[in-house]
Amino acid sequence: MAKIPQSVLTAWENHVGPVIFTTVSQNNIPNSIYATCVSCDGDNRFIIADNYFEKTRTNIQSGSSGTFLFITDKDKAYQIKGRIEYQQSGPLFDDMKQWNPEKHPGHAAVAVVAEEIYSGAEKII
């Protein structure tokens, strides 16, 4: 588990559009989705609301790690790689329910715990 550097947190504050969230099946088949309901939680993880996951949820429940990509308003790309925590109750879930729009179901809070961070080909951590 790595602490997210301030430069990446600042980039996140200036991200535009949805993130691309990728997991992998037990058969090593990648699955990527767009996610719009995403938040940064503290020093080491980003939270994605499970609103309409299907293959993604199956991949997570089978132990997939994950990665997500975002781009800033200056067209700089960032990739966060790490293990996934799937929480359907507790403080993280309760917090997600506060910022996830009511029109979405918010089945779970999905934390991507940062283990590696890249900006383009540059490894930040």
The ranges assigned to domains in the chain are 6-123
Per-residue confidence (pLDDT) for residue 1, from 0 to 100: 66
The model carries a pTM of 0.94
**For the segment 70-90, what is each residue's pLDDT rounded down to a tens digit?**
999 999 999 999 999 999 999
**For the segment 5-63, what is each residue's pLDDT rounded down to a tens digit?**
999 999 999 999 999 999 999 999 999 999 999 999 878 999 999 999 999 999 999 99
The topology (CATH level 3) of 6-123 is Pnp Oxidase; Chain A (2.30.110)
Per-residue confidence (pLDDT) for residue 91, from 0 to 100: 96
Per-residue confidence (pLDDT) for residue 43, from 0 to 100: 81
The three-class DSSP label of residue 11 is: helix
